[in-house]
């Protein structure tokens, strides 16, 4: 299978300078708001510790909590299904919809259904799927996947959205007023809510003790998706479990603060039983999660609550855009999850990181993200999945770094090259570094030359 070329896709993203600058600024703004909100809670670090401990405890007792969750949900009148992988998940959902003669499904945002490619699967079988989250709907209408797990259309300018709506739902393509755009989407989606025979949600949290699914939104679209149709379905990744309802407070206090820099989402909905005269189904999905749970170095990634903060803070994500990762999950969390789905296809992604550790610092459940990225690089090299050019470059670098004499010569040659070579030779198509920035000027004296001159003569 062909490797995703993140560097190539990123270079296209940064060619559109106004988009790239806007993207970087907007996400950094979210990061700053997140800092303000987290600093306003003196107990923030304590919450992080608790959140991490709750998740680790749940994951290490997952089978028990899953059984408890299933039993509680069944006692509440919910039908529970288990899906080993994406294909089984899609099949179960389709069979439910087909059995009820469903032609239209309204759906709240769910990264799990993106992971399973549910929408094309159902559309190929004649079922109209309407995304009801504003950002997700923009992406659906533009025939693009979400580029961010919390803000799916974050890479688009308002004028892009006006163009997409003008092209697809007949609004004025020159009007990019946010209220006009949001209202247009509202008017476009409402009839689908009223007419849809089935509704679907994902899950932010699933409470084992009560069998409840909790969804956090700012638009209320999950509630409309679940409150109007006669058939409702929740797709739940098995890692979403938490033991008790009292644990929810820890995560709810952190999720929106860390994601968007707001104290809480507008709406936190608890779904726990079908309305009278309706049917409710849960589909519990594994799709590689059990296998990941068994990976000594990588199981911590299952603690993720999908807040997106690691993406907002990552200098590579901010400057390359989510779509350049070519995967459902992008940014630092994507870089450590995606190789578990397909090592070869995503083997370039762990190299799309500066390893600066900022992702780890902002993670509310204390996932050691940058250490896992570094570990993936080792795994990829050990399993011979490095592209030939990189492999050879590393081999040469290894030789140079192993020899002090060669290293000194190389540093001096590079410094002389930067200082004296003509610009056209430095800024050539092979110099990816120089595409978007100036190569820093070389110091007149290397540290070693200074040391020998000032502190001693030992070579």
* CB nearer ligand SF4, residue 49 or residue 220: 49
Size of the site for ligand SF4 (CB under 6 A): 14
Single residue of 59, 62, 138, 363 touching ligand SF4 by CB under 6 A: 363
**8 A C-beta contact, residue 271 and residue 212:** yes
* CB nearer ligand SF4, residue 231 or residue 367: 367
Q: Does 349 bind ligand SF4 (CB under 6 A)?
A: no
| Separation of alpha carbons 229 and 105, rounded Å | 9
Single residue of 19, 306, 319, 375 touching ligand SF4 by CB under 6 A: 306
Region near ligand SF4 per CB under 6 A, out of 216-224, 225-233, 359-367, 383-391: 359-367
Backbone angles phi, psi at 457, to 5 degrees: -120, 0
Nearest to 318 by CA among 347, 357, 352: 352
| Separation of alpha carbons 372 and 333, rounded Å | 10
Helix, strand, coil content of the chain in percent (nearest 5): 55, 10, 35
Q: Does 250 bind ligand SF4 (CB under 6 A)?
A: no
* CB nearer ligand SF4, residue 162 or residue 363: 363
* CB nearer ligand SF4, residue 271 or residue 317: 317
Contact pattern from residue 285 through residue 304 relative to ligand SF4, giving x for each residue in contact according to CB under 6 A and a dash for the rest: -------------------x
Q: Does 310 bind ligand SF4 (CB under 6 A)?
A: yes
Strand partners, 217: 267
**What is the smallest separation between the CB atom of 335 and ligand SF4, expressed in angstroms?**
10
Which 3 state secondary structure label does DSSP give 267? strand
Region near ligand SF4 per CB under 6 A, out of 152-160, 227-235, 306-314, 346-354: 306-314
Cα–Cα distances (Å) from 266 to 216, 262, 269, 278, 344, in that order, read 8, 9, 10, 26, 40
Tokens of 79: 């039908």
**What is the smallest separation between the CB atom of 133 and ligand SF4, expressed in angstroms?**
17
Q: Does 369 bind ligand SF4 (CB under 6 A)?
A: yes
**What is the smallest separation between the CB atom of 364 and ligand SF4, expressed in angstroms?**
6
Q: Does 316 bind ligand SF4 (CB under 6 A)?
A: no
Cα–Cα distances (Å) from 55 to 76, 149, 255, 353, in that order, read 25, 20, 14, 26
**What is the smallest separation between the CB atom of 286 and ligand SF4, expressed in angstroms?**
19
Region near ligand SF4 per CB under 6 A, out of 81-89, 184-192, 229-237, 308-316: 308-316
Single residue of 14, 201, 335, 367 touching ligand SF4 by CB under 6 A: 367
**What is the smallest separation between the CB atom of 378 and ligand SF4, expressed in angstroms?**
20
| Separation of alpha carbons 356 and 314, rounded Å | 9
Single residue of 307, 316, 323, 380 touching ligand SF4 by CB under 6 A: 307
| 182-192 core/surface letters (b: 16 or more CB in 10 A; e: else) | eebbeebbeeb
What is the Cα Rg of the chain in Å?
25
Single residue of 199, 308, 326, 350 touching ligand SF4 by CB under 6 A: 308
Single residue of 78, 260, 309, 349 touching ligand SF4 by CB under 6 A: 309
**What is the smallest separation between the CB atom of 137 and ligand SF4, expressed in angstroms?**
22
What does the DSSP 8-state code read for residue 459?
A: -
CA 211 to chain centroid, in Å, comes to: 26
Nearest to 3 by CA among 374, 315, 384, 317: 384
Tokens of 136: 């997700």
* CB nearer ligand SF4, residue 3 or residue 306: 306
**What is the smallest separation between the CB atom of 337 and ligand SF4, expressed in angstroms?**
9
Cα–Cα distances (Å) from 345 to 221, 319, 380, in that order, read 34, 22, 11
**What is the smallest separation between the CB atom of 205 and ligand SF4, expressed in angstroms?**
12
The dihedral of CA 189, 134, 336, 256: what is its sign? negative
Tokens of 188: 């476009």
Single residue of 365, 373, 380, 386 touching ligand SF4 by CB under 6 A: 365
Backbone angles phi, psi at 105, to 5 degrees: -120, 125
Q: Does 373 bind ligand SF4 (CB under 6 A)?
A: no
**What is the smallest separation between the CB atom of 458 and ligand SF4, expressed in angstroms?**
47
* CB nearer ligand SF4, residue 59 or residue 362: 362
Annotate 149-187 with DSSP letters as a single string. SSSTTTT--HHHHHHHHHHHT---TT---HHHHHHHHHH
Region near ligand SF4 per CB under 6 A, out of 268-276, 287-295, 339-347, 364-372: 364-372
Q: Does 305 bind ligand SF4 (CB under 6 A)?
A: yes
Listed in sequence order, the residues at least 6 apart from 244 whose beta carbon sits closer than 8 Å to its beta carbon are 207, 208, 209
Q: Does 333 bind ligand SF4 (CB under 6 A)?
A: yes
Q: Does 337 bind ligand SF4 (CB under 6 A)?
A: no
Q: Does 152 bind ligand SF4 (CB under 6 A)?
A: no
Tokens of 378: 């080792």
Which stretches of the chain bind ligand SF4, using CB under 6 A? 304-310, 333, 362-365, 367, 369
């Amino acid at each position: 299978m062909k490797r995703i070329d993140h560097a190539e896709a990123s270079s296209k993203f940064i060619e559109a300078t106004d988009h790239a600058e806007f993207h970087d600024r907007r996400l950094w703004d979210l990061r700053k708001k997140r800092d303000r909100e987290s600093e306003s809670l003196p107990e923030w670090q304590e919450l992080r510790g608790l959140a991490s401990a709750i998740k680790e405890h749940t994951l290490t007792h997952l089978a028990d909590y899953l059984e408890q969750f299933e039993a509680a949900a069944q006692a509440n009148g919910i039908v529970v299904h288990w899906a080993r992988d994406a294909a089984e998940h899609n099949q179960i959902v389709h069979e439910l919809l087909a059995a009820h003669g469903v032609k239209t499904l309204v759906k709240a945002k769910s990264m799990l259904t993106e992971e399973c490619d549910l929408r094309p699967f159902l559309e190929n079988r004649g079922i109209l799927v309407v995304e009801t989250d504003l950002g997700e709907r923009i992406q659906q209408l533009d025939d693009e996947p979400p580029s961010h797990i919390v803000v799916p259309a974050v890479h688009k300018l308002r004028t892009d959205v006006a163009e997409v709506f003008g092209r697809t739902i007949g609004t004025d393509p020159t009007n990019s007023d946010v209220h006009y755009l949001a209202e247009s989407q509202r008017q476009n989606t409402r009839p689908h809510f009223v007419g849809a025979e089935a509704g679907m949600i994902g899950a932010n949290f699933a409470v084992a003790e009560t069998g409840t699914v909790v969804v956090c939104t700012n638009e209320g679209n999950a509630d409309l998706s679940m409150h109007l149709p006669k058939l409702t379905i929740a797709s739940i990744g098995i890692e979403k479990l938490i033991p008790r309802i009292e644990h929810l407070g820890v995560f709810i206090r952190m999720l929106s603060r860390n994601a968007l820099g707001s104290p809480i989402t507008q709406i936190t909905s608890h779904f726990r039983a079908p309305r009278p005269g309706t049917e409710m189904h849960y589909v519990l999905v594994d799709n590689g999660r059990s296998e990941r749970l068994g990976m000594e170095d990588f199981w911590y990634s299952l603690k993720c609550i999908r807040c997106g903060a690691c993406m907002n803070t990552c200098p590579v994500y901010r400057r390359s855009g989510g779509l350049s990762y070519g995967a459902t999950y992008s940014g630092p969390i994507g870089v450590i999850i995606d190789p578990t789905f397909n090592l070869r296809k995503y083997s370039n992604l762990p190299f799309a990181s500066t390893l600066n550790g900022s992702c780890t610092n902002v993670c509310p459940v204390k996932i050691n993200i940058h250490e896992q990225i570094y570990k993936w690089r080792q795994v990829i090299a050990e399993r011979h999945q490095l592209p030939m050019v990189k492999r050879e470059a590393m081999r040469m670098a290894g030789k140079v770094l192993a020899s002090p004499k060669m290293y000194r010569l190389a540093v001096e040659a590079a410094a002389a090259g930067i200082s004296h070579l003509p610009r056209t030779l430095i800024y050539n198509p092979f110099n990816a570094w120089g595409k978007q920035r100036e190569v820093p000027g070389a110091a007149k004296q290397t540290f070693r030359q200074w040391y020998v001159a000032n502190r001693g003569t030992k070579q």
